[in-house]
Amino acid sequence: MLSNKDYAHLTQPLDVRRQAAEVFIKVSVKPELKVQAEPITDPYGPSIVDPELEAIVVSKETLKGGESVNNKRAERGLSQLQVEVVDLLFEDGNSEKISSAILREREVKQTKVG
C-alpha cells in the first residue's frame, strides 16, 4: 500500500517503523499496554479477522474506516473494537498536518538545497 505514496523510496523498512510505533506507545502513551503493530496490506489489515484485538486508533479523518472495521467484524461475529480517536498533529503556526509524506518531501527538498 505504500508503493503509491509520494517519495515511497524514502519510506523506512517495515521493521523499523513497527518498532518505532511500539516504542512510542510504550514510552509516551501507556507503558502497560500490550502493543502489537501489524503491517496493513489492504484497507482492513488483521482488524477484521483477529478475535483478540480490543481497540483501534483512528484520527477524525479515518473515523469512518474504524466504523467500517466494526461493521466487518460484526458480519463475522467478532466483538466490536473500542474506537479511540486521536487528534492530528500540526506544526506551530501552520495549518498543514504533519504526515510521513510531508516529512519525506521535506527530506528531499533539504537534500537538494544542502
Q: Indicate the pLDDT class of residue 1, thresholds 50, 70 and 90.
A: low
In a domain, 99, yes or no: yes
In a domain, 3, yes or no: no
Neighbour-count burial for 98-113, b at 16+ CB within 10 Å, e otherwise: eeeeeebeeeeeeeee
Could you say which DSSP state residue 111 is in? H
In a domain, 97, yes or no: yes
pLDDT in tens, 80-98: 999 999 988 777 767 777 7
pLDDT at 76: 98
Say if residue 65's pLDDT is above 70. Answer: yes
In a domain, 85, yes or no: yes
Q: Indicate the pLDDT class of residue 114, thresholds 50, 70 and 90.
A: low
Nearest-Å Rg of the Cα atoms of the chain is: 16
In a domain, 1, yes or no: no
In a domain, 76, yes or no: yes
Q: Tell me, yes or no, if the pTM score tops 0.75.
A: no
Which domain does 21 fall in, by range?
8-113
Cell numbers of 86, please?
486521536
- Bridge-partner residues for 58, per DSSP? 85
How many domains are contained in the chain? 1
Q: How far apart are the first and last CA of the chain?
A: 31
